[in-house]
Amino acid sequence: TKCNNLTEIFDICSAKAMNIEDYDKGNMPFVTSTTLNNAVEVFIEPSESDKHFEAFNISMSSFGYANIQVEKFVARSHGAYKP
């Protein structure tokens, strides 16, 4: 049986976003390493410099949690915490 590398099956991309507290509230999901709410920490107004991901992608946290994102989203590459 042949085993595939993940890169043979998926495009693996790192996120690019600002710190969570630098955003205004908006309608786009901001995905982090939280285990709650499908990894959506808050809804933001994204900036043009952010990497925007299309809907129906798998997000993977730095802790190994995977979630299917059903909307366009922005993600923090190493997660974020908002007290």
Confidence of residue 78 (pLDDT cuts 50, 70, 90): low
Nearest to 30 by CA among 11, 50, 49: 50
CB 55 within 8 A of CB 69: yes
Q: List C-alpha distances in Å: 62 to 1, 6, 80, 81.
A: 30, 16, 10, 13
Sign of CA dihedral 30, 61, 71, 8: positive
pTM of the predicted structure, to 2 decimals: 0.83
Question: pLDDT tens for residues 15-39?
Answer: 889 999 999 999 999 999 888 999 9
Judged by DSSP in three states, 10 sits in coil
